[in-house]
């Protein structure tokens, strides 16, 4: 029997694996483990997820697994799983995160629970189904299927699972730096985030960077009665509001030239021009007049920088007093594409404020920033992955230069020096990070087929660049 026919059989098998409920049952066992990384008291759940669920699953298909403590105190563990068939074969690196955001139990639709999968039509609800337990579970189930039919992979495979992505991946860069040799690989194939739209299989080649920061203005200690002192005391909330208006316009355009995105290359602009951004039925209505002028909505998300205010605080928000507040704070952040130097962002903002009459405002980093990453669309890995997906689905594949959101991809690119390709298995309306998180059955089934095809093709016909035939 030809390898092509056996490939088709493997794809048919994984389809039936979904149809008969086996995959959802498998995923449900992972959803039940409450790996909420924002709750330190649930740290043991992260160890349970790696040691009691993932490790036995991978051991069964010939992987060596080891769980490592995080180099950061009270942060979640890491798992490295290896299947080395031959040191001379290409080595694929993959990644996922087993942690999730809190359940927010009371906010879910009636009859739904965050820690148990519930099916309603084409939707499968549960915390982590989309982000990210469902996505790395798809990849592992497909891997297991290929081994069932081929009896080998035909390449080496290294998997890194972390349990702290939802809190900024503490310790991940240090961990990867300390284990460079153990994690050494040819390129990454992993899954997170949404497709460009419901119907279109998608590849993205990097991520926008992100930096969170605070803007703090304090004039005095304590509030003062606005009847006795209003009109005499400067109001920090008003001053901070005006300061922000010098950074970003009423329509969301960045006003500081140095913070705008660098011009796009022709290959990147061409790739974006083929995209159609659509988050599905749960998506908010897009404001066509918001953001950088002269750009398509796809260029705004995938090819530009954005400045946002996440929250604004002054006075007692819950019980406002009739007083002039003593201080104000804005929580801001930026998303940015490759070419923006993250180390320069906060100094640029601070210097701008000082030059424009707001020297009292203090700008401080909040958390760990992420650098933007991007593989060029004409890279040989991209065409190879695109061809594999098209062979499986008979659909056109969308190539996104980068995800609109952010992941620790900069660590894989800059610390481990690994080119990256991401194949997302979710969609924009999946309610990740919110109550009612879910995956769609049709996308999940198709994703299982896609990844079975990708792992199969890696063993049968890997990209020429890692087979030694490409030196560009």
Q: How confident is the model over 39-73, as pLDDT tens digits?
A: 999 999 999 999 999 999 999 999 999 999 999 99
Listed by start position, the domains of the chain span 3-207+373-467, 209-265+274-279+288-365
Number of residues that make up the chain: 472
CA dist 342 and 344 (Å) reads: 5
| 80 three-state secondary structure | strand
Sequence-distant (≥ 6) Cβ neighbours of residue 142 within 8 angstroms: 14, 448, 450, 451, 452, 454, 455
* CB-CB contact of 163 with 99 (8 Å): yes
CA dist 356 and 349 (Å) reads: 11
How does pLDDT run along the chain (472 residues), one tens digit per residue?
Answer: 667 789 999 999 999 999 999 999 999 999 999 999 999 999 999 999 999 999 999 999 999 999 999 999 999 999 999 999 999 999 999 999 999 999 999 999 999 999 999 999 999 999 999 999 999 999 999 999 999 999 999 999 999 999 999 999 999 999 999 999 999 999 999 999 999 999 999 999 999 999 999 999 999 999 999 999 999 999 999 999 999 999 999 999 999 999 999 998 888 888 999 898 876 776 788 899 999 999 999 999 999 999 999 999 999 988 999 999 999 999 999 999 999 999 999 999 999 999 999 999 999 999 889 999 999 898 999 999 999 999 999 999 999 999 888 899 999 999 999 999 999 999 989 999 999 999 999 999 999 999 999 999 999 998 877 644 433 3
**Cross-strand pairs, 209:** 336
Same fold flag, 3-207+373-467 and 209-265+274-279+288-365: no
Q: What does pTM read for this prediction? A: 0.90
Classify each residue of 161-198 as buried b or exposed e, where b means 16 or more C-beta atoms within 10 Å of its C-beta: bbbbbbbbbbbbbebbeeeeeebebbbbbbbbbbbbbb
DSSP string, 318-337: SS--SEE-SEEEEEEEEEE-
Helix 133-150 to helix 441-460 angle, to the nearest 10 degrees?
40
Q: What is the CATH number of domain 3-207+373-467?
A: 3.40.630.10
| 203 three-state secondary structure | strand
Cis peptide leading into residue 132 (ω within 30°)? yes
Query: What is the CB neighbour count within 10 angstroms for residue 77?
Result: 21
Q: Is the domain 209-265+274-279+288-365 a CATH 3.30.450.20 member?
A: no
């Amino acid at each position: 029997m030809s390898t092509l026919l056996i490939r088709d059989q493997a794809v048919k098998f994984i389809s039936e694996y979904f149809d008969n409920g086996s995959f959802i049952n498998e995923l449900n066992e992972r959803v039940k483990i409450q790996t909420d990384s924002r709750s330190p008291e649930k740290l043991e759940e992260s160890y349970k997820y790696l040691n009691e669920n993932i490790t036995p699953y991978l051991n069964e298909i010939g992987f060596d697994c080891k769980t490592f403590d995080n180099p950061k105190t009270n942060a979640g563990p890491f798992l490295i799983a290896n299947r080395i068939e031959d040191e001379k074969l290409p080595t694929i690196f993959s990644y996922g995160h087993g942690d999730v955001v809190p359940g927010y139990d009371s906010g879910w639709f009636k009859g739904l629970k965050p820690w148990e999968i519930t099916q309603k039509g084409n939707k499968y609800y549960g915390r982590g189904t989309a982000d990210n337990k469902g996505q790395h579970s798809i990849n592992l189930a497909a891997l297991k299927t290929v081994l069932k039919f081929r009896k080998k992979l035909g390449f080496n495979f290294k998997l890194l699972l972390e349990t702290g992505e939802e809190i900024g991946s503490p310790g991940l860069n240090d961990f990867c730096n300390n284990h460079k040799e153990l994690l050494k690989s040819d390129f990454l194939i992993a899954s997170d985030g949404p497709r460009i739209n419901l119907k279109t299989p998608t590849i993205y080649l990097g991520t926008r960077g992100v930096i969170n920061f605070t803007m703090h203005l304090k004039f005095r200690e304590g509030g003062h009665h606005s009847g006795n002192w209003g009109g005499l005391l400067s109001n920090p909330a008003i001053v901070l509001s005006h300061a922000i208006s010098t950074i970003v316009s009423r329509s969301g355009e960045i006003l500081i030239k140095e913070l705008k995105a660098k011009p796009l290359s022709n290959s990147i602009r061409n790739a974006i021009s083929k995209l159609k951004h659509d988050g599905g039925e749960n998506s908010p209505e897009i404001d066509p007049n918001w953001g950088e002028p002269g750009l398509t909505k796809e260029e705004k998300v995938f090819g530009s920088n954005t400045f946002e205010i996440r929250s604004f605080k002054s006075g007692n928000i819950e019980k406002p007093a009739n007083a002039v507040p003593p201080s104000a704070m804005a929580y801001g952040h930026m998303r940015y594409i490759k070419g923006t130097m993250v180390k320069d962002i906060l100094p640029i903002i601070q210097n701008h404020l000082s030059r424009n009459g707001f020297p009292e405002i203090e700008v401080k980093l909040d958390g760990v920033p992420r650098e933007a990453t991007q593989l060029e669309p004409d890279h040989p890995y991209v065409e190879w992955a695109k061809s594999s997906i098209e062979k499986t689905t008979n659909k056109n594949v969308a190539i996104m230069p980068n995800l609109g959101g952010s992941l620790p991809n900069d660590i894989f690119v800059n610390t481990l020096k690994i080119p990256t390709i991401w194949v997302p298995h979710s969609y924009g309306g999946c309610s990740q990070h919110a109550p009612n998180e879910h995956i769609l059955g049709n996308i999940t089934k198709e994703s299982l087929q896609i990844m079975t095809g990708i792992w199969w093709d890696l063993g049968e016909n890997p990209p020429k660049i890692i087979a030694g035939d490409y030196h560009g």
